[in-house]
Structure 1
Amino acid sequence: MAMLKTRREASTATLEPVGVLYGCPGKELERIVAFSQAVDVPAGRTLYEQGRIPLDFMLVESGHAAVVVGGRKVADIGPGETIGEMGVLDHAPRSATVVARTPMRVRLVDAHDVDALMEAAPTFARAL
C-alpha cells in the first residue's frame, strides 16, 4: 500500500509544474494521473501528424518537441505545455505535425476520457 502511495505522490509531483495544471488542487492532479498514462518518447518520434484525426492529447513533463506546419517549424513545445488538446476539444483534424526533438516524458490523455476528465478536474478544464 505504501508503495502505491509513493508512486502516486511521485506522479502528481511531476504534474505540478505543468503550466495548465498550475493551481490545480492535489485531488485534481490525482484524477489527471488516473485518466492519463505516462509515456517515454524517443527523440525523432512523430507525436502528431498534421491533418490526422485526434485520438488523444499530451501533457509534457520533460523534453522538447518541434511544431511543424506545412513543412516549416513554427514553434517549440517544452515542459509545462500541452500538445494536441485543441484538436481533441474541437473534434478537428490536427493543425500541425509535432516531432520530439529530445527524449520526452509525457502524460497521454485518450480523447474518449476527455469529458470525464474535464468533469473530474474543473480547474484543469478551465485552464485548457
Structure 2
Amino acid sequence: MAPRGRAQKIDLVAGIPMFSTLSQRELAQVATLTVPGHFDAGAVLTRQGASGGLAFVIAEGKAEVVRGGRRLATLGPGDVVGELSLIDGEPRSATVRAASDMEVLEISSQDLNRLLRKAPAVRRKLLEALATRLRQADRLPTAGL
C-alpha cells in the first residue's frame, strides 16, 4: 500500500541523507512535494543515460541497480533512487528495475527547486548535507594511489 499519511511521508523523507538535517517543519515542506507511485515487478524506474528529474523513495518492495549489464546493488524500503539528479540534472548513472512490486514516493526536481527558492534555510541545509557527503567520499581510500 502506497504511503499516503503525512507522518509516513515525513518519516520516509527524513531517511534521505540529503534531507537528514532538516527540522520537522522543513521535512513536512519536502513531504508535501511527494506523490505516491507504484511499479510492477520488472518495471524500469530509471534507465542508464536517460535524463533525470525524478527521485524515488522506496516505501515497499525491492529494486535492482544495474550498470552495463552488471547488478551493483539491491535496494529496499527507505532507500532512494535518483536523489542526485534532483540537484544536478545529469543523466542517470545506472538502470534501476523493480525486483518486486513496489510502492514509492516520487519527488520532482521542479517541485524541489521551487521550494528551495522559497525556503533559503532548506537550501542552505541541503548544500551543507551534500558538502558533508562529498567530503566523506573524498576521504575514502582510492585503489591504486
State the identity as a percent. Answer: 30
Q: Which moved more, 1:101-110 or 1:113-122?
A: 113-122
In the alignment, the residues of structure 2 paired with residue 116 and residue 24 of structure 1 have an alpha-carbon distance, to the nearest angstrom, of 17
Relative to the length of structure 2, the TM-score reads: 0.69
**Paired residue total:** 122
- Map 1:10-49; keep pairs closer than 5 Å: 10-16=8-14, 18-20=15-17, 21-22=19-20, 24-49=22-47
| Deviation at residue 64 of structure 1 after TM alignment | 1.4
Residues 30-82 of structure 1 show CA distances to partners (whole Å, capped at 9, x for unaligned) of: 11221111112222110000111112111222221100001111111222221
In 2, Cα distance between equivalents of 1:124 and 1:81 = 18
Which one has the largest radius of gyration? 2
Of 43, 50, 53, the match for 1:52: 50
CA RMSD of superposed structures (Å) = 2.5
- Offset at 1:117? 3.7
Give unpaired runs (5+ residues) of structure 2. 131-145
Q: Give the strand-richer structure, 1 or 2.
A: 1
- Per the alignment, do residues 64 and 83 of structure 1 end up closer, same or farther by CA in structure 2, a change over 3 Å counting? same
Contact 2:35 2:105 in 1 (8 A): yes
CA distance, structure 2, for counterparts of residue 33 and residue 81 of structure 1: 15
Question: Any unmatched runs of 5+ in structure 1?
Answer: 1-5
Question: TM-score, normalised on structure 1?
Answer: 0.76
Select the structure with the greater relative contact order (CA < 8 A; seq sep ≥ 6).
1
